[in-house]
Amino acid sequence: MSRSITSNCGQAWDLRGGCDNGRVLFLIGVLVVVVGVALSIALHEIGHLVPAKKFGVKVTQYMVGFGPTIWSRRRGETEYGIKAIPLGGYVRMVGMLPPRPGDVEGQLRTVSTGRFSQMVDQARADSMEEVRPEDADRVFYKLSPGRKVVVMLGGPLMNLLIGFVLITGVITLYGLPQVVPKVGLISECVPTATPTVADPHPACAPGDPAAPAKLGGLRENDRIVAINGAPVSTWTAVAAAIRDSGGSPMTFVVQRGGEEVTLTVTPARLERATLDEQGAPVTQDGKLVLKSVGFMGITPGQELVTTPLLEAPRFVWDRVVDTASVIWRIPEKMVGVAEAAFGSGERDPNGPISVVGVGRIGGEVAALDIPADEGGNWLKIAQLVLLIASLNLALFVFNLIPLLPLDGGHVAGAMWEAVKRGWAKLRNRPDPGYVDVAKGLPIAYGMSLVLITMSVLLIYADIVKPISIFG
């Protein structure tokens, strides 16, 4: 936005203090995120529940949350309920694990020796205990591979649908802030200090001259339509013209209050750091690489710009790709999280966060003091909706990881079963039977331990050193 946005208390939000109004809005934002997370989980599980019932699988439980049950009701053969900890959910389908090859259907051989074998056999026995004689043909493992994939992908695809609907609604009906050729903030002065590696972007100091934009009469929210007689339609064109001006006078035509105003502004000529494609200062032999540029003392303004409906799928797909790239790098980023949580390092603002961190960001968004002419409460609502949408995209991508106990692990097992059966049929061999996903349970136990450890670490980091939208 064109002006600095702070909390309703006039400063960056702090959980230890702040005005009453800011506290209330902060709590409302947290509540919105909690409800959004709970609904996302509930719909994810519905994505499993509906196809499972459609294909005849017996579903005994549909639960949102973990831990003690705080409410439940039985409808038909399924118990629907809510548990105390809203950090997940599950649908219990009978017969998730097939019997071992050679076992009589409905019976199990005595347990094997070896710790992992005993764990697998115990899980298999627990799975078979739920299967009554009349349910013999209603077990999950007897579904065709294609139907197994549909059931297990139903949850992640529901999250993708939620994210798509929420993002599409915001970008097509409300819009997103985008940089436009418009004056945002205007500097008070020209920072004349020479940039260094330690301070590549020096600030103004006492005695520095006034900024050219201020002396030339530019104002906040002026829309720049032409420079030196050439029309401009992007901020990139404005920045390039100023940078390459060489300190020569420039003629600006701006729209101000429905009128066009012509101004002559002479940029300052400064030595500034050269930046790479990522915006980082370029160094050589331990020193900054400097270049002479024009300086006006203005930042770009932003406006809400809607996206055409037909472009929404590409926009959402780009967000999915961005999310996947972040999740792919979670293992290496967790090192930084640990260093920040237990040391003096700073959190990566683009790194992973827990539900606690998402809730805090939701609270900070709700507590922002955004002027009505810059979006006001509608902008805050849009940001909260996008926050929940981003969480759903993360759930979609994360659950596709082909490892148990994630949905992607069951999908991988079903696809391997399809490959084995197809290959056997092609070679006129006997049906190889069901893929024994129970053999992957040691991996599932290991993954569960890793996920629990990561969750605890992220929650701790989000409490002691949280990521804040205020930086």
Give catalytic residues, as residue numbers.
45
Which of 272, 225, 210 minimizes the C-alpha distance to 244?
272
d(CA 207, CA 31): 49
Helices marked H in 59-176: 115-129, 145-169
Taking the alpha carbons at both ends of the chain, their separation in whole angstroms is 16
Q: Tell me which residue has tokens 């702040």.
A: 18
Distances (CA, A) of 165 to 118, 142, 312, 392, 422: 45, 34, 10, 11, 37
- Supply the DSSP string of 427-459, one letter for each residue: TTPPP-----GGGGHHHHHHHHHHHHHHHHHHH
Quote the tokens at residue 331. 């293992």
CA 72 to chain centre: 31
Question: Which residue type does 354 have?
Answer: S
d(CA 270, CA 243): 10
C-alpha atoms less than 13 angstroms from C-alpha of 106 in its C-beta half-sphere: 8
Q: Tell me which residue has tokens 């701006």.
A: 254
Phi, psi (5° rounding) for residue 124?
-65, -40
d(CA 239, CA 300): 9
Q: Tell me which residue has tokens 């710009």.
A: 305
